[in-house]
Chain A
Amino acid sequence: MSMLPLDKNDGGGRYPGFSTLAQAHSWDQATAGVVLGRIGPPPEIRFFTPQEEAGAAALLDQLLGQHAEPRVPVVNFVDSRLAEKQTDGWRYEDLPEDGEAWRKTLAALDHSAEELYFQPFAECPESEQAALLQSIQDLGNSTWQGMRASRVWGLWTRYAATAFYSHPWAWDEIGFGGPAYPRGYKNLGIDRRESFEVADASPGEDPLEAGPAALSQTDRKNA
């Protein structure tokens, strides 16, 4: 079961007792070194200013629905990548490189929050933060604070998802076994599991039925 708090209605508790870390003894050394490094104390903030750190933490918590402890220290992971210039190897012509783009979009987010709610983003109540983010996402390919909204949204969600779903606690929540070398998998096929895998406790919980009406299919990646 994942360490992360997640309501049953939001997909929590689907893999009771499942723990990828409990399988760490079966991982190769190189992989174990990299993955276990995500568990201990998170890296210090080096890139963000204190104000940026507060805004980024609030933003990332909203995007990933992390509203209580323990959390995956996503803001530290994102900060590390930016400090080390670990970009994805490209930037849009109309946005600066990722580090600068993060600074610029976080400043813009505070600016929007000040305009609407008279305080920086991080100080706003969660409901106001969520409403502001929804309004940015709804802009799609239109301009937000001088930038194409979909590209800003893509930058934020790309870094957020990469950091969150690199963490064993997040894998436990989705039933993914993590590293698989040198052991590999022996039971391939529909409804077949390895001895260490755990069956989904609510297989009928189709998010499309449970969730809000499917949003219009956007094409943010190519925007």
Chain B
Amino acid sequence: MSGVRSRNESAWLLPPGPGGNHKLRERMRRFDDADEVDIAVVGCGAGGSTVLQRLARAGWRAVGFDAGPFWDPEQDWVSDEAGSHHLYWNEPRVIAGDNPVPLGSNNSGRGVGGSMVHYAGYTPRFHPSDFRTFTADGVGADWPIEYEDLKPYYEAIEEELPVAGDTWPWGDPHSYPHRPHPVSGNGELFLRGAYACGIQAKVGPVAISNGRFGNRPHCIYRGFCLQGCKVNAKASPLITHVPDALAHGAEIRADSMVTRIDFDEQTGRATGVHYVQGGRERFQRARIVAIAGYSIETPRLLLNSTSARFPDGMCNDFDQVGRYLMVQGAPQTAGRFDAEVRMWKAPPPEVSTEEFYETDPSKPYKRGFSVQTVSPLPITWAEHVAAQGYWGADFRRYMSDYAHWACLGALCEFLPLEGNRVTLAEEKDRHGIPVARFSYSQCDNDRQLLEAAQSVMEKILKAAGADEVITIKRYAHLVGGARMATDEKHGVVDGSCRTFAVPNLYITDGSVLPTQGSANPALTIMAVAARAAERLAK
């Protein structure tokens, strides 16, 4: 692993044991608003932090902005579900369409580390087929890059997080730097049920170190991964990329909401970012700007950055900004066992199968889904039970049975559709900036995938011995909204994440993904960002 340390020293910069490196923060380099920094990165989540770390290492004068706090896990995070509400993006957003998608706690974070602070921790790669679904199946879109272009970055990031899991047989077969973790009752039942139905299931891949990795402590299997890992066992950019970025002279300006990208009509270039910090409006000059604010806030920021040249929003000449936003169908099916499962013990991400990932020519639908363990804590479980229609005494009786349930979740590859998009609502936030309106409707293929995934999960749980199964339909993982394409009529950025319209403006987060596969996206987002940063540094 010494190779990793020479590329990214983050895990060795953390204190031994939980907590953050306070010295590193105190000694952080600070730039002046009037300095023209080499790059201003908007958002310090999966994509933003990766870019910041790579370019700081390359000697760039780099500043990362985040609307939320610079977290100290010991002080700011709790081992409690309701008490973790502050980790999410809770500012107002409007949802619409035939199948509106709830946001906030369900899918987006705020603060240094981004949504990966409270993501589950699954880090699968996309399959090679994900990069050309249009050519192969006539659905979705082809990427302007191929799997092979990302492969070295997948390998690099898997070492940096690091990822633990079984040797992976699906997609481009590969192995992981760390061995798989032991599994809990939930994972055990998944493995047992899958085996009984002849479905291959594997342990991992999770970004939770298993063994020595710098000063990162071992996972204590407490199950609160979605509330932020106080232990520092689960990877998020806050501990995997930010420390190294700071050590190499990057600045992170937390609690700083970027409200507009500044544009010079004369030169046709971005000149910096307008932001609000502590109620004061400020402006940071920058030679290059990279936006990495998540699939909702990135399009919103572009749409709010109007000028004479871009009356309908920056980079929106062809009405592409905000479009083709995707969400994975994420139905959750639970099964009831007489034995005690106690699924809340151990990390929710444990075991998965990608056996249904690819298009099956014998099926009426295209593309597929994956199945993974999910282990809801009481409040999320209560939502699952309430969705069955129970309330009052029936609800309490059901909930008292919590220890006996195992729960699986599917990720269905919903297709990118033109009309699924972010626009601006009439409503404004407390800074007076119009909030995002996200409209979402499913297509037939999406609905068929949902049904197919549910029946596979029911089959697995029943084969493991469940006497009853219940399902809730949910969504997970937003990507797209400023996708990469071969030209400006079909997307917002090129294969290197550079916007077609403004030569020194980049987008380096999940917004650029043209398709989503049925893999959780964080690893791919980081790999895409790392590739863009490397090309920038050249």
Contacts and interface: CB of A to CB of B under 8 A. Distances in A.
Nearest to A158: B383
A79 to B, nearest CB: 15
B396 A65 contact: yes
Contacts of A216: 389
B80 A63 contact: no
A89 B402 contact: no
A77 to B, nearest CB: 9
B321 to A, nearest CB: 20
B103 to A, nearest CB: 4
Interface in B170-211: 182-185, 188-189
A94 B181 CA distance: 45
Given A65-B395, A206-B401, A176 B472 contact: no
A104 B381 CA distance: 28
A63 B398 CA distance: 13
A59 B223 CA distance: 32
B90 A86 contact: yes
B340 A93 contact: no
B224 interface: yes
Contacts of B26: none
Contacts of A206: 336, 338, 401, 404, 467-468
Contacts of B489: none
Label chain A's interface by main secondary structure. loop
Interface in B328-379: 336-342, 344-346, 377-379
B391 A157 contact: yes
Contacts of A92: 94-96, 100
B391 A93 contact: no
Interface string A25-48: 001101100110000000000000
B75 interface: yes
A64 B395 CA distance: 7
Interface in B199-242: 220-224, 230-231
Nearest to B92: A97
A41 to B, nearest CB: 18
Contacts of A31: 78-80, 83
A190 B188 CA distance: 8
A175 interface: yes
A171 B182 contact: no
A30 B99 CA distance: 38
B388 A214 contact: yes
Contacts of A165: 81-82, 378-379, 381-382, 399
A34 B400 CA distance: 24
Interface string B150-183: 0000000000000000000000000000000011
Interface in A179-216: 179-193, 197, 199-200, 203-208, 210-212, 214-216
Interface in A89-130: 89-93, 97, 130
Contacts of A222: 99-100, 473, 475
A87 interface: yes
A34 B77 CA distance: 10
B397 A211 contact: yes
B404 A188 contact: no
Contacts of A161: 379, 382-383, 386
A130 B404 CA distance: 29
B397 A90 contact: no
Contacts of A220: 386-387, 389
A202 B444 CA distance: 44
A179 B389 contact: no
Interface string B435-463: 00100000000000000000000000000
Contact of A205 (B388, B389, B391, B401): B401
A180 B386 contact: no
B92 A180 contact: no
B83 A86 contact: no
Contact of A180 (B90, B224, B399): B224
Contacts of B403: 174-175, 200
A185 B220 CA distance: 6
A90 B89 CA distance: 9
Given A162-B82, A185-B222, A185-B345, A89 B104 contact: yes
Contacts of A30: 74-78
A91 B346 CA distance: 33
Contact of A211 (B18, B75, B341, B394): B394
Interface of B: 18, 74-83, 85, 88-96, 99-100, 102-106, 108, 182-185, 188-189, 220-224, 230-231, 336-342, 344-346, 377-379, 381-383, 386-404, 437, 467-468, 470-475
11 contacts: A30-B76, A63-B392, A88-B106, A91-B95, A130-B392, A188-B182, A191-B339, A207-B398, A211-B397, A214-B468, A221-B102
* For the complex of A and B, 5 pairs with smallest distance between CB atoms: A89-B104, A184-B220, A11-B400, A166-B82, A215-B389
Given A90-B95, A174-B401, 7 more contacts: A11-B398, A63-B391, A162-B379, A170-B378, A176-B377, A183-B220, A207-B401
